[in-house]
Amino acid sequence: MDVDPLPQPRRIVTAIDDEGRSYIAGDGPSPAEFTFPGTPFRQADMWRTGPTPSPVEAADDIVNHSGVLPPPHGSVLRVIDIPPQQGGAEERAEATRAIFAALYPDADHHAGSDRSPGMHTTNTIDYAILLSGELWAVMDKDETLMKAGDILIQRGTAHAWENRSGAMARIAFVLIDGTRNGVARRA
């Protein structure tokens, strides 16, 4: 099944000038966009913050971000375009392993999961907002179908995203650094 990629997400960044007046400082695609060869998969990291409270005038350094996790004590906003599942189980598992190896080496990827090849865990609170299409949110014990406008709060659980439809899906994530059992994942 061939599907066309979605248009690039538009990133609009505001700022305050030397006279204290607001203005549009940037308008266009993210400078930190990743695609996966041969697929319409796209990830656009839109913004990140350092430790909170974060200075509102902090420079845009999203191009320096790597991996799935936000900076320590910070957050990251990302938009991911997920194509429909294609191929058999082993082909999907191999594609998922390649994506995790290339983009998310810092995630705890449960590659051998019998639930989904994309099962993973992060010590983050994630606000997942489905912008278009349909996705299945897969947990260890159950799953639910999300439709455009639905919001899932992911609290450090094992989870995966599956597009079982015939159309592209776009989801936005705000990942906030977290702790597990009171322990930070890093200093």
Q: What is the mean pLDDT of each run of 10 residues along the chain (187 residues)?
A: 91 98 98 92 97 94 96 97 93 90 92 89 97 98 98 97 98 96 71
Residue 92 backbone phi and psi in degrees, to 5: -65, -40
| Residue 28, pLDDT score | 98
3-state secondary structure of 123: coil
For residues 116 and 95, what is the distance between their CA atoms, to the nearest angstrom?
A: 12
Domain 31-184 sits in CATH at 2.60.120.10
| Residue 185, pLDDT score | 65
Count the Cβ atoms, other than its own, within 10 Å of residue 129: 17
For residues 94 and 117, what is the distance between their CA atoms, to the nearest angstrom?
A: 8
Token couple for 105: 């080496």
| Residue 101, pLDDT score | 92
| Residue 65, pLDDT score | 96
| Residue 187, pLDDT score | 43
Give the residue extent of every domain in the chain. Answer: 31-184
